[in-house]
Amino acid sequence: MAALLALILLILPAAAVAAPPNIVILFADDLGYGDLGVYGNPSIRTPNLDRMAFEGQKWTNFYVGASVCTPSRAALLTGRLPIRNGMMSAKNRVLFPDSLGGLPGDEVTIAEILKPLGYATEAIGKWHLGHLPQYLPTKQGFDTYFGIPYSNDMDKTPDAPKGPELWKHPKIEYFNVPLMRDERIVERPADQTTLARRYTEEAVRFIRQHKSERFFLYLAYSSPHVPLFRSPPFAGVSLRGRYGDVVEEIDWSVGRILDALRDEGLAGNTLVVFTSDNGPWLIFDEFGGSAGPLRGGKGSTWEGGMREPAIFWWPGKLRPGTVQDLGSTLDLLPTIAAITGAKVPADRILDGYDLSPALFGAGKSPRNEMFYWRGDKLFAVRLGRYKAHFYTRSGYRHRQATAHEPPLLFDLGVDPGEQWDVAAEHPDVIEKIRKLAEKHKASIRPVKDQLLERSPTALTSQAGISTKVIRLEAAN
């Protein structure tokens, strides 16, 4: 009997490891590489994210698929560069409240590969992949949705002040952004001072409701994107001002979610990933974040626009430490497929890799390159430690790109701030990157531009969304 019990105890841990884990992705909006304590910020306190990094993995060369909101979100959920599915445009950089397009229905999301395995799925927060009914999360593999359909600075009202005054003294009523439950508006304008709290409460409720099932939770915070709103308990708490207050509230939210997983006994079978959609919006000065040692910010293909903080957490499963290998949000879909047994679509090109070797200490990340697209042009390519810029342009304000021949070349191992052009010293590296770029561009096929078409009636007549003010009787 004792021998049988010992055998059972040996078998149980192996079975637990083999069980497909729950998946939680926490996605900030416009958070910079240098905005967390564990990434070196001297003014913003992020104890929960710091602890998450110490217990898990902190990645230092982790990239998003684009330097602005809409295409970056498409890249994360599909594992495909947005140039492949029309979610990156030469004219419009993101979707707007009058846009007619969205993530095409034939694209396959993380939620959709997990549904056949019995996963409960919920999207919370900022969507920004199409607000018309056919593009909402409930049409992209998510059972339920609670959040805002696009950025929190959109739908500005006619009486909203112009210029810096709007960001220095934002008011809820200046932004007629709707808060949605599934496909129905429940509040308009959304009370942005309570969004982080309500997103968190919704996430905790979802975790507890589905604790006996497998689940996928995608929580995309609508902050620290401007305008900066925070709840009263976080007003004035940070040395970094209002921006720091907002980031510290996100940190509180992450802590609540991780505590819920611990309390429900789910921490050992839940992979949690925290990162951001793009770099800091530098044109807003103190109301934007910091890229730390990196050059540039949101909107640009400099490192500060697309290299992001990234933390992976799965107690007892991941190999804790700092990972300097390359990784990307593009890799999340194939990685999640590998660790859950989900099937990836075989009828299209995926731009992601399975990061399991690096996550579990079995080897290196298979990613050795990164492509930096802006609109319909490939601006830069990273191969190993070197990055070549064929074009450069600041994130905002400058209308024209600067072409470089030969391309600028930076050794990101020595020079992550991209200050010292070493092209003259490494013509062989430039030639390798040129060939890689040409091969990659040859794989891109023309598709419908989903960001191009816009109509002033899109929000009302096509989405069935009224522009009138809607008050939620019982805030979640």
pLDDT tens digit string along 382-422?
Answer: 999 999 999 999 999 877 999 999 999 999 999 999 999 99
Q: State residue 174's pLDDT score.
A: 97
Q: How confident is the model at residue 18 (pLDDT cuts 50, 70, 90)?
A: low
Residue-range domains of the chain with CATH: 21-368+449-462 (3.40.720.10), 376-442 (3.30.1120.10)
Residue 244 and residue 286: Cα distance in Å, rounded? 10
Q: How do strand 215-220 and strand 22-28 relate by DSSP bridges? A: parallel
48-92 per-position pLDDT tens digit: 999 999 999 999 999 999 999 999 999 999 999 999 999 999 999
Task: Calculate ∠ Cα 214-216-217, nearest 5°.
Answer: 135
pLDDT at 15 > cutoff 60: no
pLDDT at 32 > cutoff 80: yes
Displacement of CA 307 from its chain's centroid (Å): 11
Please give the mean pLDDT across all residues of the chain: 93
pLDDT at 231 > cutoff 90: yes
Q: How confident is the model at residue 28 (pLDDT cuts 50, 70, 90)?
A: very high
Q: State residue 397's pLDDT score.
A: 80
Q: State residue 27's pLDDT score.
A: 98
Residue 273 and residue 329: Cα distance in Å, rounded? 10
Q: How confident is the model at residue 228 (pLDDT cuts 50, 70, 90)?
A: very high
Task: Calculate ∠ Cα 137-97-476, nearest 5°.
Answer: 50
Q: State residue 284's pLDDT score.
A: 96
Catalytic residues: 69, 128
Displacement of CA 245 from its chain's centroid (Å): 20
307-333 per-position pLDDT tens digit: 999 999 999 999 999 999 999 999 999
Relative orientation angle of helices 195-209 and 241-263, to the nearest 10 degrees: 10
Q: Strand locations in 279-361, DSSP E?
A: 307-313, 321-328
DSSP, residue by residue, 84-122: GTT-S-SS-SS--TTB---S-TTS--HHHHHGGGT-EEE
Q: State residue 472's pLDDT score.
A: 47
Contact criterion met (CB below 8 Å) for 344 and 110: no
Contact criterion met (CB below 8 Å) for 66 and 88: yes
Residue carrying structure tokens 């309500």 = 198
Reduced to 3 states, what is the DSSP secondary structure of residue 372? strand
Q: State residue 458's pLDDT score.
A: 58
Contact criterion met (CB below 8 Å) for 52 and 254: yes
Residue 173: how many CB atoms within 10 A of its CB?
11
